[in-house]
Amino acid sequence: MKRCLWTAVVFGCLIVCAASKAHSARIKDVARFMGVRPNALVGYGLVIGLNGTGDNNKTQFTTSTLANFLDRMGIHVDPDTVKVKNVAAVMVTAKLPPFARIGTKLDVQVSSIGDAKSLEGGTLLMTTLQGPDGQVYAVAQGPVSTGGFSASGASGSSIQKNHPTVGFISQGAVVEQEFPVQIDGLDRLDLVLNTPDFTTADQAARKINLALGGHYAKAVDGTTIQVEVPPSYRSDIVGLISQVEALDISPDIPAKVIINERTGTIVLGENVRISPVAIAHGNLTVQISEQPAVSQPLPFSQGRTVITPQSSVQVQEGKGTINVVGGGATIGEVIKGLNAIGATPRDIITILQAIKAAGALHAELEII
């Protein structure tokens, strides 16, 4: 009996601990250190080997690029005579992760910028990828995988799956130059929240100070937390960053309601509250139908058989009831109350907009 009781107590403690951490998140998942971020790379290139699905001959930048490429290979051609139905001009994009070293391989995305119908089966020629400063940081080349296809018949009928004019090359680029990110020897690190919030910033600073055993972190605004490097970590900045990123905090989520009217999607935050409000919900349905009726003349008369439409108009009004929602209702109570009056997602959108207009919805209403 004692063993069963002890097991129940331990199980209950585990449930309480799990509930207390249900809304926690690691600092590394809600913030980043200043300077530690990926950098965008972009380049212009050619995809060859297409089966007649390349750019049209009137796409001048494709013919000029191909002619210039052949010229660099020692083959002199007139751009006006170049046929490019098996070639497509593309833009190549990639992300250079922080601390990437020379020789690191990157995934690249290839997108057509001409009038090519498909990049399926093509191969990207060597393309240099530049950063925002105009310098070359990587070189891309390799077979393009589209994950889609398109086909058309002589009569004009066609079928398409996904987007065949956008392709992907796994590890198709090689880093040739490193982007400088220096963290060794720093006296201070700036931690930046992904979503600005004063409460979350103050909580993160307090948690960092508790973990480091001193007043080293300070929230300077709703986004940035300045972390002074303790003397014991001056030669181990990576260890300090690792310890800070592993700390758990409970991000404070603002009260917000997101509505997508096109799809009828509604997302409500946990902190959404409403004041006492009465809701009346009813529907008015008007149905008009027409039935053909045959009109026959009397026997031995000179009349003709005719068809006359008969219209029927029916009006049905749903019972509208007034429902009172108490003040300080939580998100669960709001949804339960709206479902109780038979509101559909489309109806809930209208009701929430009306509650917001009445000043009873204490949350930001965002329509996308």
Which residue has 């919030």 as its token pair? Answer: 197
Give pLDDT, residue 144: 93
Task: Report residue 221's pLDDT band, with 50, 70 and 90 as the boundaries.
Answer: very high
Report, as an integer, the average pLDDT of 341-368. 78
User: Residue 330's closest CA among 322, 338, 320, 321?
Assistant: 338
Q: Is the pLDDT assigned to residue 210 strictly greater than 90? A: yes
Q: Is the pLDDT assigned to residue 246 strictly greater than 60? A: yes
- Contact between 190 and 177 under an 8 Å Cβ cutoff? The reply is no
Phi-psi category of residue 332: left, alpha or beta, with phi > 0 → left and psi -120 to 50 → alpha: alpha
Structure tokens that stand for 60 in this block: 């001048």
CB crowding 36-58: b at 16 or more within 10 Å, else e: eeebebebebbbbbbeebbbeee
Task: Report residue 54's pLDDT band, with 50, 70 and 90 as the boundaries.
Answer: confident
Q: Is the pLDDT assigned to residue 219 strictly greater than 80? A: yes
Give pLDDT, residue 193: 93
- Contact between 150 and 164 under an 8 Å Cβ cutoff? The reply is yes
C-alpha 98/C-alpha 73 separation (Å) is: 35
3-state secondary structure at position 63: helix
Report, as an integer, the average pLDDT of 309-314. 54
- 341 phi and psi angles, rounded to 5 deg: -90, 10
Task: Report residue 105's pLDDT band, with 50, 70 and 90 as the boundaries.
Answer: very high
Q: Is the pLDDT assigned to residue 111 strictly greater than 60? A: yes
Give pLDDT, residue 20: 42
What average pLDDT does the structure give for the chain? 79
| First-to-final CA distance of the chain | 58
| pTM exceeding the 0.75 threshold for the entire prediction | no
Q: Is the pLDDT assigned to residue 305 strictly greater than 80? A: no
Which tops the pLDDT comparison, 362 or 228? 228
Give pLDDT, residue 151: 56
Q: How far is CA 359 from CA 75, 88, 177, 202, in A?
A: 74, 56, 57, 30
User: Residue 325's closest CA among 254, 285, 273, 287?
Assistant: 273
Q: Is the pLDDT assigned to residue 185 strictly greater than 90? A: no
The predicted-structure confidence for 134-171, as pLDDT tens digits, reads as follows 999 999 999 999 875 555 555 555 555 567 889 999 99
pLDDT above 70 covers what percent of the chain?
72
Report, as an integer, the average pLDDT of 219-243. 91
C-alpha 268/C-alpha 278 separation (Å) is: 20
Residues 6+ apart with CB under 8 A from 365: 256, 257, 259, 352, 353, 356
DSSP H helices in 121-170: none
Which tops the pLDDT comparison, 248 or 16? 248
Strands 277-281 and 321-325: antiparallel
Q: Which of 77-86, 250-259, 348-357 has the highest mean pLDDT?
A: 250-259
Q: Is the pLDDT assigned to residue 28 strictly greater than 60? A: yes
User: Residue 206's closest CA among 198, 63, 77?
Assistant: 198
- Contact between 131 and 137 under an 8 Å Cβ cutoff? The reply is yes
Task: Report residue 16's pLDDT band, with 50, 70 and 90 as the boundaries.
Answer: very low
